[in-house]
Amino acid sequence: MSKIWKNLSLIILTLGATAAFAQDALLKPFVLASKGAGDVAQAVEASKAALTKAGFVVAGSYSPYANTTVIGVTNDELRSTAAKSEHGGFGAALRVAVVKVKDVVQVSYTNPPYWANIYRMQGELKDTAARLQAALGKIEEFGAEGMTAAKLRKYHYAFGMEYFDEPNEFVKYASHEDAVKAVEAGLAAGKHGVTKVYRVDVAGKKEVLFGVAMKGSGDSKIMDDAYIMTEIDFKDTKSAAHLPYDVLVSDNKVFAQYARFRIAASFPDLSMMGANSFMNIMKSPEAIREALSLTVGGKKDAR
C-alpha cells in the first residue's frame, strides 16, 4: 500500500509541476511557420489553400507594401470564443503574413495563445493553434522575449499608457445595424486613407471585426502602414502579421484599440527611444486614432 501511495504522490507532484510550467510558459506574438526560396504570390496561394483545408475561412488579404501580403483568417473556435468576453471580437481573426526578404520567403502568423491572453479571451485557442501549425508549420515563436499568460492579461507598455480595456470609443449609433452600415460606408469611401481588408462577424453576438488598411502621404504619412512598419519592423524575421489594424463594432458602438496598446502588443520589446524605436512613430497613435474616428463617422477629437 505504501508503494502505491508513493507512486500516486509522484504522479501528483509531476502533474503539479507540469501545470505550473504551463502557467509560467513564455508566449511570443508571432510564429514563424516556414522560410525558404520561393515566390510571394505562389506562397500566398499555397497558404490560403492549406488554411482552407484546415478549416479556416480566408476573410481577406492585402499587400501593405512590396514583397508582403497579409491574410486575415477565422474559424469556428475564434468566432465563438470571441463572443464570450467583452470586446473579445478583437480576437475573432488571426493574421498570416507572407514576406520576401532578399531571396527568402517567410510565412508567419499571429500566435493564438498570445493574442487570446492579451485580448483577455475566455480560452487560449489551443485547437486553432494546432490547426495553424498543421496547415502552415512551426519553426519557432518570435517577436519578443515573451510573457506569461498572467502578464499578458494585464499588459500595457509603460506607466500612463493604455490597457486592453481602455479602447477608443469613436461613435454611438441608433442600432448595431446602423453602426455596421456606417463603418462599411466609411471604409468603402476611403476618404481618410482607411479601407477594408476583411470583415468577420462574431458568432451569436452583435459584434463585427473589421481589418483595415491605412494609407497616408504628406502630413498623414505618420498613420501609413508602410511608414510605421519601416520604422519598427527592422529585424531579419519580419512581424508583418501585426497588420492590418482593427475596428470593432460592438452592439451600436464603434471601437479601436489605442495605438499605444495595439502596436506595443505586437512589439512589446521595442525600445522607447533610439534608432527603430517608439520615439520614431511618436505622433502615429494620434494620427491613427483621428483617421479611424473620421472614417467610422466619429469626430476629429473623439477619444
Query: E strands within 78-193?
Result: 94-101, 104-110, 140-142, 168-172
Whole-prediction pTM value?
A: 0.90
* Rounded-to-integer distance, Cα 213 and Cα 187, Å: 9
Q: Helix crossing, 40-53 with 126-136: angle to 10°?
A: 130
**3-class state of residue 66 by DSSP:** coil
Mean pLDDT per segment of 10 residues, for the chain of length 303 residues?
45 43 80 97 98 98 98 98 97 98 97 98 97 98 97 95 96 98 98 97 97 92 96 97 98 97 97 91 95 95 60
- Tell me the C-alpha to C-alpha distance, in Å, between residue 139 and each of 53, 72, 96, 178, 237: 21, 21, 15, 44, 12
Q: How far apart are the first and last CA of the chain?
A: 67
pLDDT tens digits for 37-94?
999 999 999 999 999 999 999 999 999 999 999 999 999 999 999 999 999 999 999 9
> Which domains does the chain possess?
26-147+157-295 (3.30.310.70)
How much of the chain is helix, strand and coil, in % rounded to 5? 40, 25, 35
Contact 289, 256 (CB under 8 A): yes
Residue 248's alpha-carbon distances to 45, 83, 244, 298, in angstroms, are 28, 13, 13, 14
